[in-house]
Structure 1
């Protein structure tokens, strides 16, 4: 099975690409030949499996996203798909790609009778989506053979918000796409922005230092803060001046950073939050103002050893919550969701592609 995993990168975060790389690793473990795309050359650093290929695209940022950039990326994707003809393309969150850069490929697949099957990977909902009125987009959406939902139907199921898109009949909830966190000797109080480096990093670092520094000194712990690869590291260093015991890290996976943590303060992006929730670490979640983070934080805070604190209350509440969390210590927690979504998605893909080859599961 040959697969292309698409996760767009636009300078606001690398979560979609990172999740796509994790899924590709899981599919590769089953014997698939996988490529990840959606980011520029630098995004390839997130592909940690040596057997997974990276297809770089022209860099797209909020400031440079123009029709010209989208056309360049669209052509590169179309060129690759026409020549490689993978068995499956798995698209994270944006069914038409960034700026619609996948529409041409979706339409070409239908018009040129490619054997490729497209699957929509759906981690969460950002808003309720209305029905498509554009015939071209409706035709492109109709090329999807199935939806892989990286969620649970009774947790934060995103599917109802997308029903107006006339989804394909094959919809599989596979659970959360996460990574395991190994338990080491607790050495640090950890702060995590995650892969979205522009999610209010400086403000969170200031609040983190104010609350964590005295706690760390009393407990004999160090401090580590993962800024994310897109953060302004120089600005962060300026804030951290006067805290020689703070380790600032730009590029580090959450599971690596948390290995020797005693307690964690974290944003609530999908990848970071669910990977940390899977661990035995006490967590203090600080959601950004994005609705999906706020909702995720509220639900996770109902679980053992997880607290949530709004940005407005950081000064007043974070010191107390950190004390509570550190007192709780590391201990396993029961989770109301599955955390092996990457493996489940890979196995389901293999089944669906196999069914298509045998002729029992045609694209609608």
Structure 2
């Protein structure tokens, strides 16, 4: 017998939701066989084709839905020339058909309980009838309390979520930031909520190939997540002066507009740095390793970027996004208060500020031992405890203790 896991992420902006689910997939593929004695297979439902650039564990695969993106009046079709209503119907039917065919024991939804425009409602109702365990996975910071409360109200409030979800996993350390205390998660859902710890130690790390992004050590690293709004950070970093003897890798992200990416390339060529000292590229599969070996990192303050940073001792300067949501500034403030990062506002961003910070940071390291970063290393036990009774009843002879685990690094 085997355990089937399905996950969903809407992915309208950036790839953070899909990559968070991917990290969970690797952890579950490694640990659920050890805990339950059963093999594990899975399906990740995502909303952006770039998600599939990231490999999955053996026995897992991607299902990419036609994409939504954020428009002036809400969600609009990313590529198809159809209305939002028709795209919602298409995505809803596709997701429901896939979940019916997979018949998962465990279904994990990232951030949006009912998907875009309620597209998951039918699938969730079907899974409840089949006695699957349904979990809502939330990053530790949602938004300002006022915005979060409006969003809960718009989907029917805590009761609507409680009707369709068995539990809520918050991927954070409640001692650093507690969305129950701030009101970002309704108090009525507190009994269903479990804090896992940050998904930091044990994130999947793809192997390094001869063609992989690299730079001569020592190097500094700048990364801006998906890149859709990271142009100003990348440009300031490209114009910054490097510490003596250091090279620079700038990851602009697969979703950065071509004009912004090209401007960063031009700026890197004009700095007067030695040939090859500044490497500008959209994408690298082995970001955790790049962060770990960097002398210093400049980054936006998305959840996954911070998880990759906090798994290391690399000094980090975070420049939180100040548009769309209050998520990143609130996370940056909480992590800075814990001594995990330094922060710089978008208003103060300049090549000169980054030059000064790089010069100071490359001579130090940052300890983050006081933060719970072990969510991935315990998620197998958490998931096993949440599995439905029908799965427990199907258990066969436990697998050998030498079950092969997917290879990914544990950085301390």
Common topology (TM > 0.5): yes
* Distance in 2 separating the partners of 1:180 and 1:82: 31
Give the Cα separation in 2 of the matches to 1:133 and 1:8: 17
CA contact (8 A) 1:86 1:116 kept: yes
Distance 1:109 1:136 in 2: 20
Shift of 1:96: 0.8
Q: Is the 8 A contact 2:336 2:342 kept in 1?
A: yes
Which residue matches 1:57? Answer: 65
Which of 176, 182, 206 aligns to 2:198? It is 176
Larger displacement relative to structure 2 (287-296 or 268-277): 287-296
Higher-RCO chain (CA-CA 8 Å, sequence separation at least 6) = 2
List runs of 5+ in structure 2 lacking aligned partners: 34-39, 78-83, 206-214, 394-412
Distance 1:239 1:275 in 2: 24
1:122 to 138, 147, 153: 138
Provide, for residues 184-237 of structure 1, a one-character-per-residue CA deviation record: whole Å limited to 9, x for no partner.
98421210102x3212x22112211232xx224xx2111110111111245322
1:22 matched to 2:23: yes
Corresponding residue for residue 363 of structure 2: 327
Q: Cα–Cα, structure 1 residues 163 and 215, in superposed 2: closer, same or farther, change >3 Å?
A: closer
Instruction: Give the C-alpha shift of residue 298 in structure 1.
Output: 1.9
**TM-score if structure 2 supplies the norm length?**
0.76
Summarize the alignment of residues 284-363 of structure 1 with structure 2, pairs less than 5 Å apart.
284-289=317-322, 290-304=325-339, 306-315=341-350, 317-328=353-364, 331=365, 333-353=367-387, 357=391
Deviation at 1:288, TM superposition (A): 1.1
Match of 2:298 in 1: 265
Q: Which residue of 2 aligns with 1:105?
A: 123
- 2:261 aligned to 236, 244, 248, which one? 236
Of 94, 106, 114, 2:112 maps to 94
| 8 Å contact from structure 1 (residues 179, 255) kept in 2 | no
Alignment gaps of 5+ in structure 1? 360-364
Q: Tell me if structure 1 keeps the 8 A contact 2:218–2:246.
A: yes
Q: Is the 8 A contact 2:340 2:367 kept in 1?
A: yes
Cα displacement (A) at 1:138: 4.6
Q: 1:79 to 1:332 in 2, by over 3 A?
A: same
Say which SS state the counterpart of residue 167 (structure 1) adopts.
helix
Q: Is the 8 A contact 2:28 2:380 kept in 1?
A: yes
From 52, 55, 58, the equivalent of 1:47 is 55
RMSD, matched Cα: 2.7
Which residues in structure 2 correspond to 1:129-168 (within 5 Å)? 129-130=149-150, 132=153, 138-139=159-160, 141-160=162-181, 161-164=183-186, 166-167=188-189
Distance 1:140 1:291, change over 3 A: closer
Q: Please list, as runs of the form range in 1=range in 2, the aligned pairs for 1:202-221 lying within 5 A after superposition.
A: 202-211=231-240, 214-216=241-243, 219-221=244-246
- The normalised TM-score by structure 1 is 0.86
